[in-house]
Chains A and B, each alone.
Chain A
Amino acid sequence: MWHINKKTFILVLISLFIGAGITGCKSKKKLAREQAAMEYQNKVETAKKNLKSIMEDNGFTLREKERILQDTKDMNLNEPEILSMIREAEEKIKLEKAEIRAKEEKKAAKEEKGTKETLEMYFNDIAAAPSVDMANRKANQALDLFSSPQVPVLIIISRSGNLVDYDRPTTIARYLNYLKDQKKNLNRIDNIQYDENGKISELELIKN
């Protein structure tokens, strides 16, 4: 029958091993490719889900939305659909930011208007107080709006362009006494500056 010598047998064995090895490598690479493709697909799906959640307002704060958007951008997915969704999400966040800013500005303006009106009221009340005690009481209440009794008060006497002329600077404590003594309130509030606690840190008045 077949006579296979030892040499031939070894050669056949080696060929079989090499053949099996190549097949194994080939299937490993294929597996890795498939795995990578699956991971990429998962990333794409996650990115879509993230971006959709930004667009659908799923109860996220603006900061969370910004973080989600950044995380999605960091995935570096070069898919036209994802890139388009990123642009939409960016636009939405931009709009939301503008809305928040507008609301904050409106709130600040309202608060400033409120403080201004309150302060004007105190000034009028102090100037018209029927007694020293009453004027002092009102002055103490007014001082609560300020960082300290030493807050500077600047009184503009004339303004033309950038050139502003002031009266000698004073402090709020002294100005309130002035109103009490002189019984007249001839200046109106021109500008108020606040400290980080929302108290008045500088007051600018202008002669009527």
Chain B
Amino acid sequence: MKRISYILMLFIGFGLTQTLSAQDEITPERKRAIDSLAMEKIRDLGKYISIIGSKETPFSEAKRVIDRTLELFVDDAQMGVSSLSREEIKYYPVREYLERLMLLNYDNVTIQWFNIQYISDLELQPDGKYVGVITIYQRFEGTSDDGLVYKDTTKKDITVYVERKETQIGGKLIGFWDVLLGDVRVIETMK
């Protein structure tokens, strides 16, 4: 009887290992999907920043979008801010950065992100998370009614964390990839 129990346990264990390894095995196709998902989140961030910065966005909408933007970041993430008029790069917690962006003293603000690409591919870390770095270029243009214009282009690096998580929805176990963004570091600021 004992022997049968051992054999049974061995089989169950083997079955479980097989299932887990199927979950863990990241095929090139799955990896591409994860890379693309992370890239999509960065594009979403760029769009959110342009909405928050735009003077045409109603205040209530901007506040809502700030909340949505914060959901993209890890809790203690910081955002680098630079200017052509100073050497120093200031780092703000993301919420503070977004609120300052919303209240910028311009009458018209346009922000565009372009050349978004991985500079460091998502790599599996010992803690089971995938970490990578994506570079973006941000074109900022602020105009005052008196004709004053400030323009710059900033190259920024964004750390991306991707982790597989599970949740129950309608009694169904859902395995999903949670993409969270870390610090946004200013690399270069140019005219």
Contacts and interface: CB of A to CB of B under 8 A. Distances in A.
B174 A183 contact: no
> For this complex, into which size category does the number of interface residues on chain A fall?
20 to 34
A202 interface: yes
Interface stretch (B60-68, B86-94, B125-133, B140-148): B60-68
A117 to B, nearest CB: 24
Contacts of A174: 68
B29 A169 contact: no
A182 B44 contact: yes
Nearest to A156: B33
A46 interface: no
A166 B175 contact: yes
Nearest to A152: B169
Interface centre among B167, B176, B177, by most A CB within 10 Å?
A: B176
Interface string B34-54: 101100100010011001000
Interface string B11-50: 0000000000011000101101110110010001001100
Contact of A165 (B44, B65, B167, B177): B177
B152 interface: no
A75 interface: no
A158 B68 contact: no
Q: Is the interface of B mostly helix, strand, loop or mixed?
A: helix
Contact of A169 (B32, B44, B167): B167
> For this complex, into which size category does the number of interface residues on chain B fall?
20 to 34
Contacts of A77: none
Interface centre among A160, A167, A174, by most B CB within 10 Å?
A: A167
Contact of B174 (A154, A158, A181, A186): A154
Given A182-B47, A202-B169, A169 B174 contact: yes
Contacts of B64: 177
B160 interface: no
A177 B68 CA distance: 10
A163 interface: yes
B152 to A, nearest CB: 25
A85 B40 CA distance: 67
A160 B29 contact: yes
Contact of B29 (A158, A164, A177): A158
Given A158-B33, A177-B68, 16 more contacts: A132-B57, A132-B61, A157-B33, A157-B37, A158-B32, A160-B27, A165-B33, A165-B34, A168-B178, A169-B167, A169-B174, A169-B176, A174-B68, A177-B64, A181-B68, A193-B170
16 contacts: A157-B36, A158-B29, A163-B30, A165-B33, A165-B34, A166-B175, A166-B176, A167-B37, A167-B177, A167-B179, A168-B176, A182-B44, A183-B47, A186-B40, A202-B170, A207-B33
Interface of B: 22-23, 27, 29-30, 32-34, 36-37, 40, 44, 47-48, 51, 57-58, 61, 64-65, 68, 167, 169-170, 174-179
Interface of A: 132, 152, 154, 157-158, 160, 163-169, 174, 177-178, 181-183, 186, 193, 201-202, 207
